[in-house]
Amino acid sequence: MLRSYFTIALRNLWKHRLFTAINIFGLASGLTVCLLAITHIRTAFTYDTFHPNPERIYRVLTDVEDKGSNLTAFATSPMPLAPLLTRDYALAEKMTRFTRVYGDVDVNHKRLDAMSYAVDPDFFSMFGFRIRSGSPATAPNTVVLTDETAKRFFGKANPIGQTVRIGDLPPMTVTGILADDHRNSHLRFDLLMSLNGANANARKYLNDWTNYAGGYTYVRLKPNTPAITFDRILTDISASICRTTQFPYAKRYSFRSQPLTSISPAFKELAFSTYEPQIGGLSVEMAVGLVTLLLAGFNYVNLTLARSLSRAREVGIRKVSGAVRWQLIGQFMAESVVLSVLALLLAFVFLQLVTPMPFVQQWLVKGATWDLSLFSLFVSFALLAGLLAGFVPARILSSFEPAQVLRSQTGLKVIKGISLRKSLIVAQFTISLIAMIGLLTMIRQHRFMASSNYGFRTERVLSIPLGGVPYQRLANDLKTVAGVEELSPLSVMLADHGGDNHTMVRRNRSATDSVGTMSISADAGFIPAMGLHLVAGQNLPVSHRDSSGRLVLVNQEMVKALKLGDARDAVGKTIWLNDSTDVQIAGVIADFRYATMAWAIMPLLIQYEPGRFHYLNVTVAKDADTQVLADVKRIWKKLAPYESFDGQWYTDYLDQRHSHNDDIFFMSLLVGLALSIACLGLLGMVTYNTTLRIKEVGIRKVLGAKVGELVWLLSWDFVRLLLISSVIAFPLGTLLGYAFLLSFAYHVSIGIETLGGCLGLLLLIGSLTIGWRTYRVAQTNPANSLRAE
């Protein structure tokens, strides 16, 4: 029986090849997106399984209650906690801390970016990160690099024994190289330095119980030690600390343990979380895949029911011949299973095409293991999708009564006379239009961030990363270049993530109302070079004698935050930085967007600290950019012959920083798939509808109807469905767009340029789909269409 089911199924699919091709392409597209999401979700559940005894490893979390009685869960904990547990309690087999160390890495006079962390010696035996060569960084002033980082820092040279320097810390010796064979971990890093031998400032930080965001604490319990015992100890410790400690920004906190095996995926978002996938993001990925697959399922249901007349007669004859309903359901389900298998094969081809894309590599398949279990999951999911897609038409078609269907009375209606097929078409194009509105909103916002007026000069500004080149020497050489207008060393790139240093500022040392501010290091050339406006006071001194940076500039937002009155009142006042350094306000500059558009303008402090200079901005005269760039490259080659020149125009930087072309391309591909699935379904419906009405078209042509009138007659019902889809999609798409824009302090609006553009594109593609087929039918010779009558 099964053999006959599949034989008949193959014959039916081959007989209706257009419908079969539409269904296979649609299901394959939906399966491709779902399989990518399944790969990522499955990978999320395999994080940190390569460590020895992962079931006994716990991370300590901190629940912090602030002054307003709001409770926030932190993935971090105070740094003194681990030594206390080791010293006073015997339940831990191993213990380690994992804390971020900020600052660029100096390697052979080159300054490079790296994710640097400091760890205790037990880190290398507690976790399963394999040392490929050398030894762990357990001694003071030692460091280990990942294999990829070692190649980036030292090329083909042997890094063992080489020296690196992180920020202002003492030089460190490379003792080992970590293999890059375990990427599925919530911990990510480029290098690990030893926490042993910390200097006086670091020791003060390591003994600070008030800093609950200090680092991450991991404990491997002894065998047969229950986690509840560990939690009781953590509760007692936090209660004892809260009784004797004054917290500057919180009422109290408490500790609790989190099993390593439950970190990924994260079902609850934590402050200062690590790199574990969030369940919300995974849900969105799966939802996108299921929606795409649902559109393809709509196609299958729609096209199957569109052929309901011919299939209904088949059902009637089979029932008269003695077939029971479950046998008919089995026949229709066999067709859907065959389709799903063919679609799965095509989906594997699509996977090979999209997997190399940067977005897919970065977010969906990074670290994925393609094994038999994953392929088995793919096959099972495809078969389930096929069975679900075939269930609705199988139930409907198998329910027809022979007496009705043999008289061609097979009207399929849902609520209030709206046909099921038309409802599905409306649903398909509604989803597609909502996705189009969301995508266009995203593209417009990214373009807005790339080309908007940030309040500082971006045209003809060349930004040069200094690396190991002394900025003063480079600046002196560039001053002689014709076409160079101004020079401005900076610690950060503007319009990125803000300043390079977060500073707490008070009006006086004993004040309790401190203000968090971003800090940028610059000199007197910053204001004229970047086209900024000084509201009150004076610029930073041109002389470099003020090496301590005691004179500072602040923005208007800082004046408001510190309640210093107006800009003139603020000039000359002394403020305290981090409770330890007093500085004097030399001037107040007008607010400008120095950070990303996601943030509102925040307090900003500009201070002269040459040690933090990482970039040199060069403003260039009009029509001199090409010659200046060539001269700058020549000077750079002379000063740093072995380092590449990485300077770029600020407009190019903003475009690269905010355009997100790879992400937009992948999302456009998803929307394109959804729209193409809907259009293919519409094409199938139009094809079937015009086939049924071909004799009507012939009669109308004989009676004098024109081609244009016939095209409109055949098309209007479908165009009306597109208009209904737009009426439903506009408010929902607008809500989706604004849900995305809410994460930006400065954003575009959703108006006629977005909604009208999406509607115009939908009507254009839909009309071409409808018009192409109806025009061909309207051109048919009536003699041919009426001959069979």
Query: What pLDDT score does 418 carry?
Result: 47
Within-domain flag for 666: no
Range in 92-96, 425-429, 562-566 with the lowest mean pLDDT? 425-429
Please compute Rg for the chain using Cα positions: 34
> Could you tell me which of 278, 211, 198, 241 has the C-alpha nearest to residue 74?
211
- pLDDT: is 458 or 578 the higher one? 458
Q: How confident is the model at residue 221 (pLDDT cuts 50, 70, 90)?
A: very high
Residue spans of beta strands (DSSP E) within 149-232: 163-166, 172-178, 191-194, 216-221
- pLDDT: is 612 or 410 the higher one? 612
Do residues 424 and 682 lie in contact, with contact meaning Cβ atoms separated by under 8 Å? no
Chosen domain end from 639, 658, 677: 658
Total domains in the fold of the chain: 2
Query: What pLDDT score does 501 carry?
Result: 65
How many CA atoms lie within 13 Å of 391's alpha carbon, on the beta-carbon side? 6
Please write the tens of the pLDDT for every residue from 123-181. Answer: 999 999 999 999 999 998 999 999 989 988 888 889 999 999 887 788 899 999 998 87
Query: What pLDDT score does 120 carry?
Result: 93
Quote the CA–CA distance of 779 and 774 in Å, as a whole number: 9
Give, in order, the Cα–Cα distances in Å from 522 to each of 154, 470, 642, 645.
Answer: 31, 15, 27, 22
- Cα 641 to chain centroid, rounded: 38
Q: What DSSP line would sit under 120-135, residue for residue?
A: -TTHHHHS---EEEE-
Neighbours of 188 (CB within 10 A): 11
- If you average pLDDT over residues 712-729, what whole number do you get? 86
Within-domain flag for 413: no
242 Cβ neighbours under 8 A, 6+ residues apart? 252, 253, 254
Interhelix angle for 372-397 vs 279-306, to 10°?
40
- Count of positions (residues) in the chain: 789
Within-domain flag for 490: yes
Quote the CA–CA distance of 454 and 138 in Å, as a whole number: 47
Query: What pLDDT score does 263 carry?
Result: 92
The two tokens of residue 78 are 């105070």
Sort 194 into a burial class: Cβ within 10 Å, 0-12 / 13-18 / 19+.
buried
Neighbours of 19 (CB within 10 A): 25
| 77 DSSP assignment | B
Quote the CA–CA distance of 578 and 583 in Å, as a whole number: 11
Quote the CA–CA distance of 110 and 469 in Å, as a whole number: 8
Chosen domain end from 235, 262, 289: 262
Share of the chain above pLDDT 90, in %: 20
SS (H, E, C) 592-612: CCCECCCCCCCCEEEECCHHH
Within-domain flag for 393: no
Chosen domain end from 640, 658, 676: 658
Amino acid at 336: S
Assess whether pLDDT exceeds 60 at residue 715: yes
Could you tell me if residue 482 is left (phi over 0), alpha (psi between -120 and 50 degrees) or otherwise beta? beta
- Cα 467 to chain centroid, rounded: 29
Quote the CA–CA distance of 302 and 287 in Å, as a whole number: 22
316 Cβ neighbours under 8 A, 6+ residues apart? 400, 401, 402, 404, 405, 406
Please write the tens of the pLDDT for every residue from 516-548. Answer: 788 888 988 999 999 999 999 899 888 655 445
Amino acid at 35: L
| 307 DSSP assignment | T
User: pTM score > 0.85 for this model?
Assistant: no
Assess whether pLDDT exceeds 80 at residue 781: no
Could you tell me if residue 271 is left (phi over 0), alpha (psi between -120 and 50 degrees) or otherwise beta? beta
Please write the tens of the pLDDT for every residue from 229-257. Answer: 999 999 999 999 988 887 777 788 999 99
Quote the CA–CA distance of 380 and 386 in Å, as a whole number: 10
Domain ranges, residue 74? 54-262
Query: What pLDDT score does 415 carry?
Result: 36
Q: How confident is the model at residue 6 (pLDDT cuts 50, 70, 90)?
A: low
192 Cβ neighbours under 8 A, 6+ residues apart? 116, 117, 118, 119, 123, 137, 143, 144, 178
Within-domain flag for 348: no
Quote the CA–CA distance of 483 and 462 in Å, as a whole number: 12
Within-domain flag for 750: no
